[in-house]
Each structure stands twice: as structure tokens, then as C-alpha cells.
Chain A
């Protein structure tokens, strides 16, 4: 059972456009949603995260929009740059426990063309 789903699998945008990456989840106990980005042959890096007390989290050009009722969230990257080209993973975690298991989605490969 895939608990965290991402779409699209791949996305290409032009430099300066807004890229929208989607994520949905099934487990209503999830209460922490980080996004990681991963460049080829590197380890994932934490990009931005949100908790359900908010429906929006912004950090520079990166914004998470969160819809708790529909169990959906999206990552918007405004003014996309070629350096943003990477694979983006949405993840989710339930409860503040030591295990803090992160369940990852399948990822979206973003390509930003100059």
C-alpha cells in the first residue's frame, strides 16, 4: 500500500516559470510533511517542511500548500531556475516518536530548461 503518492513522475518547465509538484497521502495520522530534493549521485537534502497547523509554508521561491481535508499538498517553485533541476521527494511522518518513520513518495523529477 503506497501511503504517499507524488505526481507527476517527471516535469519539465522553462526557466522563470512556476513548477507545481503534487503529493497526496492516505494516513490521517500523518502530521509532519517534509520535502527533500536530491541531485544526481547526491544524498537527499531537506528543502522545506510543513505541519498541519498551517495550510501554507513559504521559504523564498518555495511554497508548500496544504489541504488537510483532501489529504493533499503541493510544492510550488516560482521563478524556476536550471539549478532547481532535481528529484523532489514528498515525505510524511506520524507522531513525535523516536522512530519518526518517514514514508517517502515516489518522487518527481524536475527539469528546468534555460
Chain B
């Protein structure tokens, strides 16, 4: 069975500080991985996706970047946080069955 882990669970950061969020999936080789962002009380917006190591495609940047350093790892980062970055960050993986995507537990980010 596949398991997806995100870290940290929650972060409180200052405006202008750097950020790095991580996602790891186990039990699935060469997974398609995705980053989503959800504002409090809002809908989900896809940010990035990656189909293989070293390759990342941007959907909506929001002054963020993503990297795929390992087959099972997806990283979301920025050098300078904005207030608008606050929200719930979700990593997802896709099954081989068409476009089914399953979400990780998420990281809740508060920027002050």
C-alpha cells in the first residue's frame, strides 16, 4: 500500500523568511506528484506537478518553487515568504488509473 508523508505538520513563519516543505511517498515507484495550495475556507489550486526526478512543471507559481530531488520526494520552497502564502499545502500522488489523485495529510502554514 502507498503511504504519503508531509513535513512539517505545521509552521509559523515570519514574512520574508525562507520556507521548505517536503513530501515523501512510499510504495509507489516513479509516482506522479503534485503540490496544491488551499486558502483557509477556500478551494484547492494546483501549483506544480512532476512526473520524474529532476523535472517539475509549474501550473501557478505564487512566488514559490518546487523540486524533485529523488523519485519519492517532492519539495516546495521559497526564499521569501509573503503573507499571502498562508494556507494549507497539500501533496498528492496519482494512481495509474487515469487521473485519480490522493492527497497527503498536508502542512498548515501561517505567515505573520
Is the Cβ of B99 less than 8 Å from the Cβ of A98? no
Q: Does B67 contact A (CB under 8 A)?
A: no
Instruction: Choose the segment among B12-20, B73-81, B103-111 that binds chain A (4+ C-beta atoms closer than 8 Å).
Output: B103-111
Instruction: Indicate whether A101 sits within 8 Å of B100 (C-beta atoms), given known contacts A106-B43, A107-B43.
Output: no
Interface residues contributed by chain A, number (CB under 8 Å): 25
Is the Cβ of A101 less than 8 Å from the Cβ of B105? no
User: A36 to nearest B CB, angstroms?
Assistant: 8
Is the Cβ of A44 less than 8 Å from the Cβ of B44? yes
CA distance A44 to B105 in the complex (A): 9
CA distance A33 to B44 in the complex (A): 15
Interface residues contributed by chain B, number (CB under 8 Å): 23
Q: Does B83 contact A (CB under 8 A)?
A: no
Q: Does A43 contact B (CB under 8 A)?
A: yes
Main secondary structure of the interface of B (DSSP, over half): strand
Q: Which of B45, B46, B90 has the most CB of A within 10 A?
A: B46
Bitwise, A52-94 to B at CB < 8 A (1) or not (0) is: 0000000000000000000000000000000000000101010
Contacts of B106 in A (CB 8 A): 42-43
Bitwise, A20-44 to B at CB < 8 A (1) or not (0) is: 0000000000001010100001111
Instruction: Indicate whether A44 sits within 8 Å of B103 (C-beta atoms), given known contacts A51-B98, A101-B46, A106-B43.
Output: yes
Contacts of A49 in B (CB 8 A): 100
B interface residue numbers (CB < 8 A to A): 32, 42-46, 49, 51, 57, 59, 88, 90, 94, 98-106, 108
A interface residue numbers (CB < 8 A to B): 32, 34, 36, 41-46, 49, 51, 89, 91, 93, 96, 98-107
Cross-chain pairs A/B with CB under 8 angstroms, 7 sampled:
A43-B106, A44-B103, A45-B103, A89-B43, A99-B59, A100-B99, A102-B46
